[in-house]
């Protein structure tokens, strides 16, 4: 069983991981997911919107473009700064605030819509994070999530990382948030309705080697995994990831296009 102390230690390591590299390099390419989620939540002009574990602000910008009064939160200051730069460039009025998804600094029912794209799914204490999303969302409001599925490409990337650097015993995989049944369990007491749809996001790079170079340099979890392994271990991880990339690539030998499945979820608050 994982103790509270273990989870706090894991959270500290995760924070260091996401602060390493520069997630915004990859995150910016995922903007389409935020736009689709904002539409799925049927955002209304003037609604109070909270983006949790916002990263560089994809859902934040999507909501602000639709007239939302948006508060964008993350526990990595550098990522909030990336989001702030993007909002300023578009002259969008967004509030940015440091916050832990498991302990949100907002009163109950403060927001009409609560969003998270590939963010809250990485929290160590999944039940606590789900409870916080529900707590700050008003009755009748919506919680919109985009989560990688276990079977999809990014789910398999994390499974591959786990084979080379096993997580602490008892820690639940982030991809559980990409399984509808698990979400129904997490939000059982707070949801009036849960709708979920499987979608695909296409990663587009020059080649498998190019994808790996970008992720190894800029994507915190992959960056940290390679840094933590000895030379032979890093070589083995590289080989396994390249094999995975080749297997999922639908573009042939001259390019790389990889469909990665995610679950788009809209939860109506009870």
Residue 123: give the domain boundaries: 4-149+170-202+262-269
If phi over 0 gives left and psi between -120 and 50 gives alpha, with beta otherwise, what is residue 5?
Answer: alpha
Give the pLDDT mean for 51-57.
Answer: 98
Residue 95 has pLDDT above 70, yes or no: yes
Measuring CA to CA, which residue among 37, 24, 10 is closest to residue 123?
10
- Our count of domains for the chain comes to 1
Percent of the chain whose pLDDT exceeds 70: 99
Q: Is the pLDDT of residue 1 over 70?
A: no
Q: Are 53 and 119 in contact (CB under 8 A)?
A: yes
| pLDDT, averaged across the chain | 96
Average pLDDT over residues 56-80: 97
Q: Is position 10 within any domain?
A: yes
52 part of a folded domain: yes
What is the share, in percent, of the chain residues with pLDDT greater than 90? 91
Rounded to whole angstroms, how far apart are CA atoms 229 and 197?
A: 37
Is 56 inside a domain boundary? yes
| Cβ atoms 29, 137 nearer than 8 A | no
Could you tell me the two tokens for 144? Answer: 């919109």
Which of the four pLDDT bands, split at 50, 70 and 90, describes residue 4? low
CATH code for the domain of 176:
3.40.50.150
| Residue among 213, 220, 162 nearest 13 (CA) | 220
Query: Which among 88, 74, 108, 56 has a CA at the least distance from the CA of 219?
Result: 56
Q: Is 93 exposed, middle or buried (0-12, 13-18, 19+ CB in 10 A)?
A: exposed
Residue 164 lies in a domain: no
Average pLDDT over residues 9-32: 92
What local confidence, expressed as pLDDT, does residue 50 receive? Answer: 99
Q: 160-205, pLDDT tens digit by residue?
A: 999 999 988 888 999 999 999 999 999 999 999 999 999 999 999 9
99 inside domain:
yes
Tell me if 28 is assigned to some domain.
Answer: yes
Please give the Cα distance from 261 to 125 (Å, whole number): 24
pLDDT of residue 170: 84
- Model confidence at 8, pLDDT cuts 50, 70, 90, reads confident
| Number of neighbours of residue 191 by Cβ within 10 angstroms | 17
Average pLDDT over residues 127-149: 98
User: Would 155 be classed as within a structural domain?
Assistant: no
Torsion angle of C-alpha atoms 94, 100, 105, 108, degrees rounded to 10: 100
CB 157 within 8 A of CB 175: no
| pLDDT score of 132 | 98
């Amino acid at each position: 069983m994982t103790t509270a102390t273990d989870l706090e230690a894991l959270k500290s390591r995760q924070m260091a991981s996401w602060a390493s590299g520069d997630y915004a390099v990859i995150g910016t390419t995922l903007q389409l997911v935020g736009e689709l989620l904002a539409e799925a939540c049927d955002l209304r002009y003037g609604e109070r919107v909270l983006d949790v574990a916002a990263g560089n602000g994809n859902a934040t910008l999507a909501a602000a473009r639709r007239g939302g009064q948006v508060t964008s939160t993350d526990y990595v200051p550098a990522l909030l700064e990336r989001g702030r730069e993007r909002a300023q460039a578009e002259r969008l009025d967004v509030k940015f605030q440091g916050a832990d998804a498991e302990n949100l600094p907002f009163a109950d029912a403060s927001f009409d819509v609560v969003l998270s794209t590939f963010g809250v799914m990485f929290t160590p204490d999944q039940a606590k994070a789900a409870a916080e999303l529900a707590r700050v969302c008003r009755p009748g409001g919506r919680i919109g999530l985009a989560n990688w599925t276990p079977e999809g490409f990014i789910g398999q990337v994390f499974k591959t990382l786990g084979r080379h650097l096993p997580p602490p015993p008892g820690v639940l995989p982030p991809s559980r948030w990409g399984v509808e049944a698990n979400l129904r369990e997490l939000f059982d007491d707070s949801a009036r309705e849960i709708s979920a749809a499987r979608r695909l996001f296409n990663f587009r790079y020059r080649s498998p080697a190019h994808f790996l170079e970008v992720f190894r340099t800029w994507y915190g979890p992959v960056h940290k995994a390679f840094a933590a392994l000895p030379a032979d271990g890093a070589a083995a991880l590289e080989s396994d990831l390249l094999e995975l990339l080749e297997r999922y690539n639908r573009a042939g030998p001259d390019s790389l296009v990889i469909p990665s499945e995610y679950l788009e979820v809209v939860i109506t608050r009870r």
